[in-house]
């Protein structure tokens, strides 16, 4: 199985921003997805190192999209560093066209697939972008055109200078509305000040029912062993169904499809040490796991869980190799025509809830810019009673929409 089906998730900005160009080649979409996959794994590693024993959840797609809009205005060394870290390998204009195609596949085309399959209303996937600009602060028409045309970003004028708190609340309200109130207060007090000139936001919301829902009457309390070796009591859901499954690469992998048949949750339960498995995880390992999934009769037990996680990616992205973007010498002249902007912070917040009926997940990212297995004869028993990883993915585009780790379902 090609990794582009399995996952989501040049220096300077677009030379022809806003100009008419040929349709994006279909081959560019898997190239974009492959790069987003690499970035997702790298970012997971950095976030894991910051909290090796805790729950973790984020949306690689949201972060890549928000930083893709930011990259459209990057030039020189700043653009080179961003492209390397984000694993953007396409020429700029084709990259942004590929993002447009990906958003279309996850938007209008996705809804059309649901309608044609008769599953409309059983699954929701919404993606939105916005560009918030200080009133009277001039940004280049070429930059505005590319974020509007390629990312369908709403361009909005706000008054960061005279009313930073009101502007912050306006952005937070926009995020909350587009995530069904699951992401509240993305921007904390003090995040926006009178030096803020541009904020770039992405919001994503997913709600899907399992293709085979768990019977609530079968849910029983069970023990879950945390990374530290202690046990906690959690509600364990249980059912026996045929699932794509594999025992390979040091883990048990099981794919739980949603009712649309076009998206799924991939669960990876390590055989041994969680930390070592995470360190060994890379796109090639994931590709091999995907290629070995086979429909298997599985007796599955898994915990209900719900949690929210928030991150400042300022230091993480600098450490990954793009420090220039966060320095007052940053070159985002593709946004204003001058080198007068730098990224003051990249803020991400994500929510996930998994129960007998399905999954609800939401995330938002804000870039704040300031001036300056083979079938056995009986069911395979899979018990998720220790830390595991999970990915929510769109199987048609291959995009990783969300990625996380459950270390303690009670947190």
Q: What is the pLDDT of residue 24?
A: 59
Q: What is the DSSP secondary structure assignment for residue 262, as one 8-state letter? A: S
Residue 411 belongs to some domain of the structure: no
Q: What is the pLDDT of residue 372?
A: 80
pLDDT tens-digit readout, 322-343? 999 999 899 999 999 999 999 9
Q: What is the pLDDT of residue 173?
A: 98
Work out how many domains the chain is built from and give that number.
2
Q: Maximum CA pair distance of the chain?
A: 70
Q: Is residue 343 domain-shared with residue 298, that is, in the same domain?
A: no
Residue 356 belongs to some domain of the structure: yes
3-state secondary structure (DSSP) of residue 226: coil
Q: What is the pLDDT of residue 5?
A: 28
Say which CATH number the domain at 401 has: 2.30.39.10
Full-model pTM: 0.90
Q: Residue 267 sits in which domain range?
A: 216-303+374-406
Q: Is residue 50 domain-shared with residue 169, that is, in the same domain?
A: yes
Q: What is the pLDDT of residue 397?
A: 86
Say which CATH number the domain at 80 has: 3.30.497.10
CA distances for 50 relative to 43, 150, 253, angstroms: 11, 34, 25
Q: Is residue 45 domain-shared with residue 164, that is, in the same domain?
A: yes
Residue ranges in the chain whose pLDDT is less than 50 = 1-21, 373-376
Q: How far apart are CA 280 and CA 270, in angstroms?
A: 11
Q: What is the pLDDT of residue 358?
A: 95
Residue 166 belongs to some domain of the structure: yes
Contact 56, 47 (CB under 8 A): yes
DSSP codes, 275-318: HHHHHH--HHHHHHHHHH-EEEEEEEEEE-EEEEEEEE-HHHHH
């Amino acid at each position: 199985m090609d990794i582009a089906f399995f996952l989501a998730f040049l220096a300077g900005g677009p030379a022809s921003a806003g100009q008419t160009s040929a349709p994006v080649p279909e081959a560019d979409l898997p190239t974009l997805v492959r790069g987003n996959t690499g970035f997702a794994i790298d970012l997971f590693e950095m976030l894991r190192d910051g909290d090796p024993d805790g729950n973790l959840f984020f949306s690689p797609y949201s972060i890549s999209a928000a930083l893709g809009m930011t990259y459209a205005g990057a030039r020189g060394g700043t653009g080179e560093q961003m492209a390397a870290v984000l694993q953007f390998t396409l020429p700029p204009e084709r990259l942004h066209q590929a993002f447009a195609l990906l958003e279309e596949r996850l938007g209008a085309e996705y809804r059309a697939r649901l309608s044609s399959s008769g599953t409309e209303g059983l699954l929701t996937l919404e993606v939105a972008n916005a560009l918030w600009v200080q009133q009277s602060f001039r940004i280049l028409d070429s930059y505005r055109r590319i974020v509007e045309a390629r990312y369908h970003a709403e361009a909005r004028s706000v008054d960061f200078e005279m009313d930073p708190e009101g502007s912050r609340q306006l952005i937070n309200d926009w995020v909350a509305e587009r995530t069904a109130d699951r992401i509240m207060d993305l921007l904390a007090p003090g995040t926006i000040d009178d030096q803020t000139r541009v904020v770039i936001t992405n919001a994503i919301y997913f709600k899907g029912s399992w293709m085979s829902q768990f019977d609530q009457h079968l849910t029983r309390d069970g023990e879950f062993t945390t990374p530290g070796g202690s046990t906690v009591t959690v509600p364990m859901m249980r059912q026996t169904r045929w699932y794509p499954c594999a025992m390979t690469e040091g883990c048990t992998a099981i794919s739980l499809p949603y009712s649309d048949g076009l998206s799924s949750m991939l669960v990876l339960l390590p055989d041994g040490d969680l930390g070592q498995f995470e360190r060994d995880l890379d796109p090639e390992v994931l590709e091999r796991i995907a290629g070995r999934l086979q429909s298997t009769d599985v007796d599955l037990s898994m915990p209900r869980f719900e949690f929210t996680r928030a991150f400042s990616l300022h230091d993480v992205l600098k450490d990954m190799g793009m420090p220039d973007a966060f320095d007052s010498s940053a070159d985002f002249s593709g946004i204003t025509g001058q080198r007068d902007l730098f990224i003051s912070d990249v803020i991400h917040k994500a929510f996930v809830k998994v129960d007998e009926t399905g999954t609800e997940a939401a995330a938002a990212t804000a870039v704040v810019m300031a001036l300056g297995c083979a079938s056995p004869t009986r069911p395979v028993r899979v018990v998720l009673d220790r830390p595991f990883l999970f990915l929510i993915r769109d199987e048609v585009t291959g995009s990783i929409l969300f990625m996380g780790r459950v270390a303690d379902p009670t947190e």
